[in-house]
């Protein structure tokens, strides 16, 4: 029986046309982010296991791929199995996001970086997910972060750059959903949730779009997080329907509303009048490291977010021993790349030279060099009997036109190009 030749579950190969579309999108994102003053960095694909499991990544820490220590013996494996501590076998792990590595990067290089550092990170990450549509074990994240800016200017720059990137990609109809962890804390306090149960409560509330208000309320009660007196389901429905008029100066605000946080969100919305921004007090964001403003990209055609981020002022202090303000936004690249197409205006003209067997190779290469020098992408293809199949193949590969090349061709101007896919 032949061995399987498919990629590992949750990981993918990309054929040339798909790879070209992905690189086009990545190029657009890089260009827009750079134009907004961000600088690209790179970090290793692995970090110390202790760093990846330091309580910074929420539930994603459970999905981290561990790298076993070198030189382990059977006794080591048996001892770990007996204790149930599999992590004792690992000293490294594959990164599950780009934020934890960025915090370590900043702590390492802070003396070489400006007081306010604007970073781009575009790279693959790995999570031991259960593979399904739109969810993979290896995927690309496109992050921008601002470190060192405590004020709302960081959020404004991140939102502006992200909206500009989405616009440049041609992804219309998106909305930015805003909330603040301080508002969520007020909601939990109004339900009487103990401080040590709040993170677990937020994990459950984050399932609202999957299991609904009744499901969230039931799980909160089953976990002993809220008592039977609070009508959590009804309050979740009210929260989901909340808008920007929770406090207009006349009607008293609800008891759970942190007014300072709410005013900060109002200020962000006012400062970005051209962006579609909604207030959503049920928005959680799953990562445990968020401390203030949080945001997500929503689209009416999809039941999942297309990206998100927020403020995580406490993370870098874990490495430096002092607080450093930080805020970031990540585009969900794998989810948006299938929604967009590579515009022909944004890539060079791609042509195929279909040559006869008697064309001298020197002349053929000279024609190719002339076209490449003019800015075209050029492929050489020998004429075959099944000419239609050849044209179908190069069309699928993203080529725009072809030209027959005979032995008497002297320069590119003598070629008769015919459009493909017309």
Output the pLDDT for position 345.
Answer: 43
Question: Which helix (H) or strand (E) covers residue 118, if one does?
Answer: strand 117-126
Let me know: does 200 contact 223? Beta carbons within 8 Å.
yes
Helix/strand/coil for 193: coil
Which CA distances in Å does 35 have to 40, 118, 120, 402? Answer: 12, 12, 11, 36
Q: CA angle, 29 as apex, 111 and 137 as ends, to 5°? A: 85
How is residue 129 written in tokens?
């997910």
Output the pLDDT for position 80.
Answer: 65
CA 155 vs. chain centroid, Å, equals 17
Output the pLDDT for position 421.
Answer: 73
d(CA 138, CA 266): 37
d(CA 309, CA 176): 11
How is residue 350 written in tokens?
């791609």
Output the pLDDT for position 65.
Answer: 87
Output the pLDDT for position 18.
Answer: 86
Query: 9-45+95-171+299-347, superfamily in CATH?
Result: Bira Bifunctional Protein; Domain 2 (3.30.930.10)
**What ranges do the domains of the chain cover?**
9-45+95-171+299-347, 175-287, 349-419
Question: Which helix (H) or strand (E) covers residue 278, if one does?
Answer: strand 277-279
DSSP 384: -
How is residue 396 written in tokens?
């699928």
Residues written for the chain: 422
Residue corresponding to tokens 């400006």: 114
User: Which residues, in sequence order, are bridge partners of residue 278?
Assistant: 177
Cα dihedral angle (132, 137, 139, 145), rounded to 10 degrees?
110
Sign of the four-CA dihedral 403, 407, 412, 414 = negative
Output the pLDDT for position 154.
Answer: 94
Residue corresponding to tokens 């959590």: 232
d(CA 168, CA 170): 5
Output the pLDDT for position 346.
Answer: 57
Q: CA angle, 276 as apex, 273 and 278 as ends, to 5°? A: 105
Longest C-alpha distance within the chain, in Å?
Answer: 90
DSSP line for 15-40: -HHHHHHHHHHHHHHHHHHHHTT-EE
- Pick out the chain residues at pLDDT < 50: 342-345
Which CA distances in Å does 50 have to 64, 104, 107, 112, 291? Answer: 11, 12, 16, 26, 22
DSSP line for 311-333: E-TTTTHHHHSS---EEEEEE-H
């Amino acid at each position: 029986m032949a061995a399987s030749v498919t990629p590992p579950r949750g990981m993918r190969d990309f054929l040339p046309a798909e790879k070209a579309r992905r690189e086009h999108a990545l190029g657009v994102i890089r260009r827009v982010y750079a134009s907004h003053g961000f600088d690209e960095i790179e970090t290793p694909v692995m970090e110390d296991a202790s760093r990846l499991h330091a309580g910074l990544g929420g539930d994603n820490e459970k999905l981290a791929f561990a790298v076993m220590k070198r030189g382990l013996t059977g006794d080591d494996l048996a001892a770990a199995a007996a204790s149930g501590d599999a992590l004792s076998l690992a000293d490294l792990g594959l990164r599950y996001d780009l934020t934890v590595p960025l915090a370590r990067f900043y702590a390492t290089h802070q003396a070489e970086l400006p007081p306010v550092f604007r970073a781009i990170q575009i790279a693959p990450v790995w999570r031991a997910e259960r593979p399904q549509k739109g969810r993979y074990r290896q995927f690309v994240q496109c992050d921008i972060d601002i470190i060192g800016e405590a004020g709302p200017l960081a959020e404004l720059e991140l939102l502006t750059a992200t909206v500009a990137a989405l616009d440049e990609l041609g992804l219309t109809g998106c909305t930015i959903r805003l909330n603040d962890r301080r508002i969520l804390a007020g909601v939990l306090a109004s339900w009487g949730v103990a401080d040590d149960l709040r993170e677990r409560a937020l994990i459950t509330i984050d399932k609202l779009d999957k299991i609904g208000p009744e499901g969230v309320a039931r799980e909160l009660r089953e976990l002993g997080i809220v008592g039977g007196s609070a009508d959590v389901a009804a309050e979740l429905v009210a929260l989901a329907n909340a808008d920007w008029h929770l406090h207009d100066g006349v009607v008293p605000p609800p008891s759970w509303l942190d007014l300072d946080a709410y005013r900060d969100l109002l200020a962000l919305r006012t400062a970005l009048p051209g962006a579609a921004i909604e207030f959503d007090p049920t928005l959680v964001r799953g990562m445990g490291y968020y401390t203030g403003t949080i945001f997500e990209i929503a689209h009416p055609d999809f039941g999942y977010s297309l990206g998100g981020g927020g403020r995580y002022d406490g993370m870098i202090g874990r490495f430096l021993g002092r607080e450093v303000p930080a805020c970031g936004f990540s585009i969900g690249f794998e989810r948006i790349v299938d929604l967009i197409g590579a515009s022909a205006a944004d890539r060079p003209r791609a042509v195929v030279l279909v040559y006869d067997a008697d064309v001298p190779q020197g002349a053929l290469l000279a024609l190719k060099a002339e076209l490449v020098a003019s800015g075209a992408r050029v492929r050489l293809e020998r004429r075959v009997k099944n000419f239609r199949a050849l044209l179908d193949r190069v069309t699928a590969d993203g080529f725009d036109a072809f030209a027959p090349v005979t032995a008497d061709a002297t320069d590119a101007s003598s070629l008769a190009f015919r459009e493909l896919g017309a």
